[in-house]
Structure 1
Amino acid sequence: MGRKVGKIKVFLSFLQDVHKDSRKGYFFLLRDFIRLKKEKGISIEEYSNFKFESRGKKFRDSFLSGVEQRPCLNLLNPKKYYILARNKYLSHLILGANNIRKAELYCYYHPEGRVKNDHIACDYDSVLAILKSKNIHSCVIKSTETSHGDGVIVVNDIEYTDKDCILHLFDGRKVCLKDRLKEYEPLIFESKIYQTKQFDSFNSSSVNTIRFMTTLYPTGDVKIIAIWMKFGRAGVCVDNAGAGGNVDAGVDIKTGRIFNVTLFDEWRETRSITHHPDSGTLLEGVFIENWKQITDEIIQFQKSIPYLKAIGWDIAITPEGPLVVEFNDYWDRTGQLFLGYGWKKEIQDCYKQWKKLEDVGKVSYKMGRL
């Protein structure tokens, strides 16, 4: 009984908040939400975050909800392969094995391990030995299990002293390596990424990345189904949109033209802009340089990772070409907000083709046992 009352209170609070923000009537909101809940499994968070009360037919029909996404990704990206994308150390290994451009891995640190070699460490002394042997004076430190830019430390300089190793961070802070390792979590130490002049002009404190959504079909063909971009803010080293406080935009798949530039402070707090709010650089309508080369390489990236058939790639654009920052098997749905439309049809089309192949395989197996 108490749980039901709690759910009712949450729902009424949701209606009240959306009503205050949108000035839509309670009856309209209630009827509209119930219809979308029935048709698409829309949650109250999705309805509120994506402002469904003001969305037209194109957005509503093309939006892929969490309920619709789950069965598709369960087939396209099986759970047994989750670890390939979610563990940053394993991601390094699989990308390297397929000659996919990525940051250089300096050191993998796991406090529960006991192996020490030229890139694996399990304590302070072995981490320090690797960094010194490779003459590392700048790096990026990441937790192997986090996402959305959480726990990323950009080290502009490493000071080796007799007693300790001092990390000089991008924001001016100093951290002792020993103190960072005391948090007792697996870490990777990798090279800093240097983006092209064009991307550096957007915002120089962060690596501004492009999210490519790709799908792999049973024929071996790959499609890029959606692209959007994340720009960091001045003085911030990550470009993540999830927590707000950055700039995002759609990118035209064929031409690389940036469109629908959005200042994203938080959910329901967005507004259209044309220039980066800090650097003043024009964003709206700008074409990303060397676009065909970039998209051709992304297609090859997906072909090299057939275990996951619907990948969200976070790509940095470097002078040498596109570089994988990370790839995601269970990607979020935020990009649909910045594109102004969703990717439901594209994901479900890919799902149907693999489902058909799976069903044929099941029938053949049963026939073989008769």
Structure 2
Amino acid sequence: MANYIFRILKSASLGKMKEAVKTCHERSGKSSLKIFFDMLYCAKKYGAGYYDYQIFAFYNLNKKQRSTYVTRLVSKKFNTFMNDYAYDHFLENKDEFNELYKNCVRRGFIQLQKASREEVKEFCEKREYIFCKMQDLECGHGCERIKISDYKSFDELYKYLTDRQFCILEDNITQHPDVAALYPNAVNSMRIITVLDSKGEPHVLYIVQKMGIGGSIIDNNCLFTPVDPETGKMLYPAHSGDTVKGIIYEEHPETHIHLQGYTIPYVKEAVKMVLEAAKVTPQIRYVGWDVATTPDGPEIIEGNTYCAHDFWQLPPHTPDGIGMLPKIKEYIPEFFCGGKEGIKRNFDWLKK
């Protein structure tokens, strides 16, 4: 732990750390010096960097509450504990993923690098739009939505596709009208986090609904809010996606739909789908699934094998100041046995 903390401090941007101290001071009213030393304490005690300290508002939490949070160090340990990354290519490589998980992928697709020129031409001629992805990028990077008629000829289009080295060409996903109403320019996907327990049984940890904003054709780094897995209702106002600024929206700023209580269709079906998908590659036990909601039901867009820890536990969505570790412990108790690979935490006080 001490070596890890030393590496964090050594690689930390002093300017950004000073800015974090200043922000926490302004938000809490506590002295900057007290905030600084409390940050160091939380780094040592909970594996929390200054970024964690700021975005989770540790300055407002007591020691017991802080112990429940998945921090930077805990997240790294848990990802490593759960996933054998020799197998992550089955999810990270778009062509392998679409083939292996094709029962969860409703949209048509073609592998550009394996298909003949004529097969690509036939695929494109039948569509007004195609969605293009690169091999192993995620979070919307390397994606492009292309309108076929924007190109004078197929030769021009094919040259562009091959020059860009796209891996997969897909149908443009049509959203359920209730989801498209939130923001029509992007596929507003759910992020559903699953874990496989020691017996190979899958469980859902958390669901958030993501929403595009500002003309973006992807929903990453945009608005999000937790969703109830039983009712499909949005549980809170949406977070801006900027975890440092932490702006909250009662309604979508462009479509003006009130968000808390808004119902997402087919959530139970989406949960059932990802629980089955979670068993396909059992060596990867911890996955963040991006799931689209179409008029005919859910379909998986992709699976992420290194899950971020921040958007699960932000203050607007955790009014009790309790992070995700207690829920993780319900399903993966072996991670909490200490040692080099795990951590030691006791949450019996939550049951009182």
- TM-score range relative to shorter protein: 0.7 to 0.9
What residue identity is the alignment partner of 2:159? Answer: K
Aligned to 1:101: 105
What residue identity is the alignment partner of 2:323? Answer: G
1:53 to 2:59 alignment: yes
Residue range with higher mean Cα deviation, 156-165 or 200-209: 156-165
Q: Is the 1:247–1:263 contact (alpha carbons within 8 Å) kept by the matching residues of 2?
A: yes
What residue identity is the alignment partner of 2:162? Answer: L
Residue range with higher mean Cα deviation, 345-354 or 215-224: 345-354
What residue identity is the alignment partner of 1:104? Answer: G
Question: Unpaired segments of 5 or more residues in structure 1?
Answer: 110-119, 167-176, 357-370
Q: Is the 1:142–1:153 contact (alpha carbons within 8 Å) kept by the matching residues of 2?
A: yes
Q: Is the 1:217–1:353 contact (alpha carbons within 8 Å) kept by the matching residues of 2?
A: no
Aligned to 1:317: 293
Q: 1:164 to 1:198 in 2, by over 3 A?
A: same
Q: Deviations over 1:6-33 (max 9, x none)?
A: 8584444543454356543113212321
Q: Deviations over 1:261-315 (max 9, x none)?
A: 2241623222332221101122111222343333222222223332321111110
1:346 to 2:337 alignment: no
Q: 1:219 to 1:232 in 2, by over 3 A?
A: same
What residue identity is the alignment partner of 1:343? Answer: M
- Percent identical among aligned pairs is 21
Aligned to 1:140: 131
Aligned to 1:131: 120
Aligned to 2:347: none
Structure 2: distance between partners of 1:229 and 1:187: 27
Aligned to 1:71: 77
Aligned to 2:155: 164
Structure 2: distance between partners of 1:325 and 1:58: 37
Structure 2: distance between partners of 1:235 and 1:5: 39
Q: Is the 1:205–1:234 contact (alpha carbons within 8 Å) kept by the matching residues of 2?
A: no
Q: Secondary structure at the match of 1:131?
A: helix
Structure 2: distance between partners of 1:14 and 1:231: 27
Structure 1: distance between partners of 2:21 and 2:161: 44
TM-score, with length taken from structure 1: 0.77
Shift of 1:54: 3.5
Q: How does 1:247-266 map to 2 (within 5 A)?
A: 247-264=223-240, 266=242
From 243, 257, 266, give the equivalent of 1:267. Answer: 243
Q: Is the 2:98–2:105 contact (alpha carbons within 8 Å) kept by the matching residues of 1?
A: no
Q: How does 1:1-370 map to 2 (within 5 A)?
A: 9-10=14-15, 11-20=17-26, 23-55=29-61, 60-96=66-102, 99-109=103-113, 120-121=114-115, 126=116, 128-134=117-123, 135-137=125-127, 138-158=129-149, 161=152, 164-166=155-157, 177-183=158-164, 185-241=165-221, 246-264=222-240, 266-336=242-312, 337=314, 339-340=317-318, 341-353=322-334
Q: 1:59 to 1:129 in 2, by over 3 A?
A: farther
Shift of 1:103: 3.0
Root mean square deviation of aligned Cα: 2.9
Q: 1:339 to 1:87 in 2, by over 3 A?
A: farther
Shift of 1:348: 4.4
Q: Deviations over 1:218-255 (max 9, x none)?
A: 334221111111100152210002xxxx2111112332
Question: Unpaired segments of 5 or more residues in structure 2?
Answer: 1-7, 338-352
Q: 1:293 to 1:186 in 2, by over 3 A?
A: closer
Q: Is the 2:226–2:236 contact (alpha carbons within 8 Å) kept by the matching residues of 1?
A: yes
Shift of 1:215: 1.3
Structure 1: distance between partners of 2:273 and 2:11: 50
Q: Is the 1:230–1:239 contact (alpha carbons within 8 Å) kept by the matching residues of 2?
A: yes
Equivalent pairs counted in the alignment come to 322
Q: Rg larger in 1 or in 2?
A: 1
Aligned to 2:345: none
